[in-house]
Amino acid sequence: MITGIKFSLNDSLYSRDPQDTELGQRILKHSIILIDDIGLENFTFKKLALEIESTEASMYRYFENKHQLLLFLTSWYWQWVEYLISIHTLNIEDPGHRLKIILKSIINATSENALTEYINENLLHNIIINEGSKAYHTHDVDEENKHGIFSSYKELNEVIAQAILALNSNFPYPHSLASNILEMANNQVYFAQHLPRLTDIKVPKGDLSQLEAMMEYFVMKLVKD
Amino acid sequence: MITGIKFSLNDSLYSRDPQDTELGQRILKHSIILIDDIGLENFTFKKLALEIESTEASMYRYFENKHQLLLFLTSWYWQWVEYLISIHTLNIEDPGHRLKIILKSIINATSENALTEYINENLLHNIIINEGSKAYHTHDVDEENKHGIFSSYKELNEVIAQAILALNSNFPYPHSLASNILEMANNQVYFAQHLPRLTDIKVPKGDLSQLEAMMEYFVMKLVKD
DNA sequence: TATCTGTGATAGTAAAACTATTATATCTAA
DNA sequence: TTAGATATAATAGTTTTACTATCACAGATA
């Protein structure tokens, strides 16, 4: 029986791998719930410790600080999306079809259950939408990048870029389009929820079908010859 | 003689308008320099006060906290870009030409001097690229939005959306494309500088011509029938 | 039986993020 | 010209955040 997925994440994303212990898994589970609830700025390890009836010091055994925790969560998420894409595109040959499935996978990742008890993918997706870009908008990007902190994001980006090139090998900006797809998919949901004048789509009750239609329209119109 | 531009910014963006006093202007000038230098996370009012030989308490008379300061700076910036667009598109009738000029204005805003002694537009542009999205990625977006905090961003977005519709009135997603233009223009520069595998462009010595070519390619291909 | 591993309990520090009070210089309107 | 308003400085304080350090202890492991 499958009880969960464990991803191999870069060493620099934690002090002790939280996937390996019961407390570690509780940290992941409740940090997702708490960050989703109060936002990253208001989130502290003290509040988290209180929530899971542990101590602040124990939180620091797993993560050096909350930024490292955010990096862990975002890396986990992007690795999961890449995994979903790999499954959904198995045996799909047609490049146009493949690219559409990739878009669907990125957008609807949240509705799939990774069978990981300690990670609520729905809430994690919210966190990615709300806080995801803060993972790399930091003064130490270059240093963190050297340590391979962003490799799961870059790998996912490469998968998308290759799918774009498979559809049109002359497309001049595959990597920029790929990163823009990832950013836009999150941003437009955020705008629909909080700054609706910045978008044309709606996300009624979390229904992402309008986003999907728009993303497909943009990408296909751009990539096709 | 023109000595500077003063924008009318929403009351909620400050406690006391920093544009009106000498200390306020020094706060703006040196906060831009300091945030650019050490990053928003490491920036504190205490460090700023030290820099300009004033006191922490005096900083708090102008801004409630550093997030409000960031909101002020980003609003100022977007209002300035809208002003540049309005100037550059005067007497330009052709919609395609107009839209291209808008893109140029957004991308090259930095190379223009607003003649505002206390605002270094170059550094401010860097801050927008590095920290801009944090202005609205906050737990209190909805509350802040109610107070009109984001109106300059939304107005600029509307100007772009209208220019898109002028070129093709059937384009189904003018607002989403507009917001994506603004986000993408910043993100792709950031990626080129820090995570080059996520983009296809380069920004050699701050030269943004590759970005301009790419943005024009994307937008024109999308908008044209 | 010894030791290693993971956690809890407790205590502490330095800095960040404010708030409050008083003093004083300057400018401004009666 | 003078009383009051305005802007800033100086000082001192509080609470919270973001850590670090130490010791005790239970359970697994060798």
Domains delineated in chain A: 67-223 (1.10.357)
Examine the pLDDT at A29 and tell me if it is beyond 50: yes
Chain C nucleotides reached by a protein CB under 7 Å = 6-11, 15-21
pLDDT of the residue at B4? 64
For residue A43, CA distances in Å to A26, A195, A218 come to 16, 23, 36
Matching residue, tokens 């002359």: A170
Examine the pLDDT at A96 and tell me if it is beyond 90: yes
What would the mean pLDDT of B36-48 be, rounded to a whole number? 97
Chain B residues touching residue A195 (CB < 8 angstroms) = 136, 141, 145, 150, 153-154
Q: What angle do CA B204, B206, B207 make, to 5 degrees?
A: 70
What would the mean pLDDT of B14-32 be, rounded to a whole number? 94
What would the mean pLDDT of A79-87 be, rounded to a whole number? 95
| Residue B88: Cβ within 10 Å count | 15
Amino acid B34 CA to nucleotide C12 C1' distance, rounded Å: 32
Reported as half-sphere exposure (CB side, CA atoms, 13 A), residue A49 has a value of 14
Among B195, B201, B222, B224, the strongest candidate for a mutation testing the A interface, having the largest count of A CBs within 10 A, is B195
Identify the residues numbered 57 to 116 in chain B whose C-beta atom is closer than 7 Å to any atom of strand D: 57-58, 61
Amino acid B38 CA to nucleotide D9 C1' distance, rounded Å: 26
Nearest nucleotide, C1' to the C-alpha of B60? C18
Examine the pLDDT at B171 and tell me if it is beyond 80: yes
pLDDT-based confidence at residue B1 (cuts at 50, 70, 90)? very low
Percent above pLDDT 90 for chain B: 90
Task: Count contacts between A and B (CB, < 8 Å).
Answer: 128
Nearest nucleotide, C1' to the C-alpha of B66? C17
Nearest nucleotide, C1' to the C-alpha of B56? C18
Amino acid B45 CA to nucleotide D18 C1' distance, rounded Å: 18
Q: How far is B92 from chain A (nearest CA, A)?
A: 25
Q: For residue A94, with 0-12 CB atoms within 10 Å meaning exposed, 13-18 middle and 19 or more buried, which class applies?
A: exposed
Contact state of A133 with B133 under an 8 Å Cβ cutoff? yes
Q: Are A132 and A183 in contact (CB under 8 A)?
A: no
Pairwise CA distance, residues B27 & B59, whole Å: 7
Element (H, E) at B22: helix B22-38
Identify the residues numbered 19 to 58 in chain A whose C-beta atom is closer than 7 Å to any atom of strand D: 42, 44-47, 56-57
Contact state of B139 with A184 under an 8 Å Cβ cutoff? no
Chain D nucleotides reached by a protein CB under 7 Å = 7-12, 16-22
Pairwise CA distance, residues B11 & B151, whole Å: 12
User: In the structure encoding, which two tokens stand for residue B117, read together?
Assistant: 């002694």
| Residue A85: Cβ within 10 Å count | 22
What would the mean pLDDT of A40-54 be, rounded to a whole number? 96
B56-113, pLDDT tens digit by residue?
999 999 999 999 999 999 999 999 999 999 999 999 999 999 999 999 999 998 777 7
Matching residue, tokens 């945030």: B35
pLDDT of the residue at B111? 74
Examine the pLDDT at A113 and tell me if it is beyond 90: no
Examine the pLDDT at A211 and tell me if it is beyond 90: yes
pLDDT of the residue at B116? 85
* Closest chain B residue by Cα to residue A143: B194
Angle between helices B95-108 and B174-194 (to 10 degrees): 40
| Eight-state DSSP code of residue A39 | -
* Closest chain B residue by Cα to residue A127: B137
The amino acid at residue A149 is: I
Nearby residues of A90 by Cβ (< 8 Å), 6 or more positions away? none
| Residue A87: Cβ within 10 Å count | 10
* Range list of H helices, A110-208: 121-131, 141-146, 151-167, 174-194
Cβ of B225 < 7 Å from strand D? no
* Closest chain B residue by Cα to residue A137: B130
User: In the structure encoding, which two tokens stand for residue A15, read together?
Assistant: 């002090």
User: In the structure encoding, which two tokens stand for residue A7, read together?
Assistant: 């991803």
Query: Which of these, A55, A131, A80, A103, lies nearest to A216 by C-alpha position?
Result: A103
pLDDT of the residue at B64? 96
Nearest nucleotide, C1' to the C-alpha of B55? D9
Amino acid A155 CA to nucleotide C6 C1' distance, rounded Å: 34
Contact state of A173 with B217 under an 8 Å Cβ cutoff? yes
Nearest by CB: B139 against A38, A180, A184: A38
Examine the pLDDT at A1 and tell me if it is beyond 50: no
* Dihedral angle computed from the Cα positions of residues A172, A174, A176 and A182, in that order, rounded to the nearest 10 degrees: 150
Q: Are A29 and A23 in contact (CB under 8 A)?
A: no
Pairwise CA distance, residues A179 & A63, whole Å: 28
Among A41, A68, A136, A139, the strongest candidate for a mutation testing the B interface, having the largest count of B CBs within 10 A, is A139
pLDDT of the residue at A116? 85
Pairwise CA distance, residues B44 & B23, whole Å: 17
Q: For residue A65, with 0-12 CB atoms within 10 Å meaning exposed, 13-18 middle and 19 or more buried, which class applies?
A: exposed
The mean pLDDT value of chain A amounts to: 95
Cβ of A64 < 7 Å from strand D? yes
